[in-house]
Amino acid sequence: MIVVNTETIPGYEIVAVKGLVQGNTIRAKHLGRDITASLKNLVGGELTQYTELLTESRRQAVERMIQQAQELGADAIVNVRFTTSSIAAGAAELYAYGTAVTTVGSTATPSAGSFSPPPATPRSTGGPGSVPPPPPSVD
Amino acid sequence: MEILIQIVVPLASVVVLLMLGFTIGRTRERRHFADLEHREATNSKFLVTNLKTVPPGMQPQTATLVLGATVIASDYLKTFLSGFRMIFGGEMKSYSSMIERARREARLRMIESARAAGAMAVINIRFETSNVSGTTGRNAAPMSEVLCYGTALLPSGH
């Protein structure tokens, strides 16, 4: 699942728009964290535990959004936006939304300026006992 | 005598808290700004833009979302001084520096996670600021979250 906040995906072409997908989560603050936070309010600076809490919650919201996109049969989400809002004292809502789309292959394999489709022959002519191709260099 | 205690004790605690905010808060802020400048200098060659399109000359194979976030609190002195500022109006310098710190930190975290993923640039970045203290009124201690997110351009599949 490719997730980007641009309207297009570099290297891919969008062939179908599946619709809006969203994910949200509302998190309450932890009492122990609140105590350390109130101490931090005296000296200022970053509230590391809150940063972690919100980052974790936001990841959950994104995961819910991705799950919705998978249910729609999409393989990418474009134009993702985030919003955070204070719902009640001590609770925050994290919301992520975007457009689920289906994409087709990489358009970033230029073959001398022509519009020829990518080669149909698979890279590994995997007969029985043949050596599998080396895995693509990841990272 | 009892009246004296009732006045002196709260006053002394306020003074102690102000001193604490002034000494520790200022030191930490200065240290943080020095750290930000150092990290910004190491990442100064890395392209970060809020344009929506791929910059000319770059041919990314794929892309991914990158995020950077931080929650920041103000110190006691700043909260105290802002009470006066509320009376006279004008720019709240103490809070601007607080938000500036958070925003630069969030942006740097996003850049660092993009570089860790091997990205060549980050496009279409957005900033979002929100109040997470959840309380309002006189005793509200400002706490803000700054989120920075964008699309990292990757040279190969991730």
Q: What is the pLDDT of residue A2?
A: 92
Superfamily of domain B2-154: Hypothetical protein apc22750. Chain B (3.30.110.70)
**Region A58-78: what's the mean pLDDT?**
94
**Region A95-102: what's the mean pLDDT?**
95
Question: Regarding predicted confidence, which is higher, B145 or A88?
Answer: B145
Q: Is A10 on the interface with B (CB under 8 A)?
A: yes
State yes or no: pLDDT of A61 exceeds 60: yes
State yes or no: pLDDT of A118 exceeds 60: no
Q: What is the pLDDT of residue A117?
A: 39
Q: What is the pLDDT of residue A81?
A: 94
State yes or no: pLDDT of A138 exceeds 50: no
Q: What is the pLDDT of residue B63?
A: 92
Q: What is the pLDDT of residue A137?
A: 53
Res. A75 pLDDT band, cuts 50 70 90: very high
Cβ distance of B79 and A41 shorter than 8 Å: yes
State yes or no: pLDDT of A33 exceeds 70: no
State yes or no: pLDDT of A133 exceeds 60: no
Question: Regarding predicted confidence, which is higher, A3 or A31?
Answer: A3
Distance of alpha carbon A79 from alpha carbon A81, whole angstroms: 6
Q: pLDDT of B10-65, one tens digit each?
A: 888 888 888 877 888 888 889 999 999 999 999 999 999 999 989 988 889 899 99
B102 CB-contact burial (10 Å; exposed 0-12 / middle 13-18 / buried 19+): buried
Distance of alpha carbon A117 from alpha carbon B48, whole angstroms: 32
Q: Of B109, B110, B118, nearest to B35 (Cα)?
A: B109
- H-state helical runs in B67-141: 76-88, 93-116
Q: What is the pLDDT of residue B31?
A: 92
Distance of alpha carbon B125 from alpha carbon B98, whole angstroms: 21
Question: Regarding predicted confidence, which is higher, B20 or A2?
Answer: A2
Per-domain residue ranges of chain B: 2-154
Nearest residue on chain A to B59, alpha-carbon basis: A108
CA atoms within 13 A on the CB side of A9: 31
Q: What is the pLDDT of residue A20?
A: 94
- What's the mean pLDDT when you consider all of chain A? 76
Tokens 């996003």 belong to residue:
B110
CA distance B6 to chain A (A): 22
Q: Which residues of A touch B116 (CB under 8 A)?
A: none
* Contacting A residues, span 18-77, partner chain B, CB-CB under 8 Å: 29, 37-38, 40-47, 50-51, 54-55, 58, 62
Concatenated DSSP letters of A72-108:
TT-SEEEEEEEEEEEEETTEEEEEEEEEEEEEEEES-
* Contacting B residues, span 53-82, partner chain A, CB-CB under 8 Å: 53-54, 59-65, 67, 69-76, 78-79
Q: Which residues of A touch B145 (CB under 8 A)?
A: 50-51, 54, 84
Question: Regarding predicted confidence, which is higher, A134 or B126?
Answer: B126
Q: What is the pLDDT of residue B105?
A: 95
Q: pLDDT of A35-57, one tens digit each?
A: 776 777 777 888 888 888 889 99
Cβ distance of B134 and A50 shorter than 8 Å: no
Q: Are strands B47-48 and B121-131 parallel, antiparallel or unpaired?
A: parallel
Q: What is the pLDDT of residue B136?
A: 54
Distance of alpha carbon A45 from alpha carbon A67, whole angstroms: 36
Query: Domains in chain A, start-ordered, CATH in brackets?
Result: 2-106 (3.30.110.70)
**Region B86-108: what's the mean pLDDT?**
88
Nearest residue on chain A to B21, alpha-carbon basis: A43
